[in-house]
Copies of this chain bind each other. A is one copy, B any other.
Amino acid sequence: MRISELARRGDVTTATVKYYLREGLLPPGALTSPTQAQYDESHVARLRLIRALLGPGSLTIAQAKGVIAVIDDPGDDMFEALGSAQQATVDEPDPVDTTAAERLVARAGWRVDPRSPELGQLARSLAAIDDAGFEIRDETWDAYLRSTRDIADAEIAGIPEDPSDALRYAVLGTILVEPVLLALRRLAHQHASGERYGT
């Protein structure tokens, strides 16, 4: 298909497609003449991925490029590749004391890289909770650790075998599902609060 058809299928303008091509987010089409290129279904799929990363995922162009580079060349260590793809979506936080965050992860018995930026994010959130004078019961912490593990286990078990599919799945899943989980938690609050306070 031509660039105009690709743009239509991806629900973006031709100018946007050209921009993604220039930025290297979209691979070039097959040249059929010095001024004309042909695109195929793989370009449509890639365009949808880019839109998800830049739109609901709110990644920067640089972050999206990092994710796509790993998807295009996953190497043969899937654990390593998944880690690199995830890290590409995270802002590196300023250095922060991660002792409390590491303690929490140790309590759950999880093996994680102590240099993970997610530990910094967790540490920052724990500090904000502390700072607000907000206390969380042990039973509630246990529910957080148990539930996020339950979610992650189901998600990792669902990752497809093919390495590039697997990375696309993992990155999109991480990003697109976050707002779903937050909305579900708030809706579950409503239900549980109805049960406790009786309506």
Contacts and interface: CB of A to CB of B under 8 A. Distances in A.
Interface of A: 45, 48-49, 51-52, 55-56, 77-79, 82-83, 86, 90, 101, 104-105, 108, 110-113, 116, 118-119, 121-122, 124-126, 128-129, 131-134, 136-137, 139-140, 142-159, 169-170, 172-174, 176-199
B140 A183 contact: no
A189 B82 CA distance: 9
Contact of A121 (B122, B133, B151, B179): B179
A40 to B, nearest CB: 15
20 contacts: A48-B133, A51-B131, A52-B131, A52-B134, A55-B128, A86-B186, A90-B186, A121-B182, A125-B177, A128-B176, A129-B177, A142-B154, A143-B155, A144-B177, A145-B184, A147-B151, A148-B185, A151-B188, A153-B188, A155-B189
A152 B189 CA distance: 5
Question: How many of these chains are in the complex?
Answer: 2
A116 B194 CA distance: 14
Q: What 9 A-B pairs have minimum CB-CB distances, sorted nearest first?
A: A152-B188, A52-B132, A143-B154, A147-B147, A110-B191, A122-B183, A79-B197, A156-B192, A148-B184
Contacts of A149: 188, 191-192
Contacts of A51: 131-132
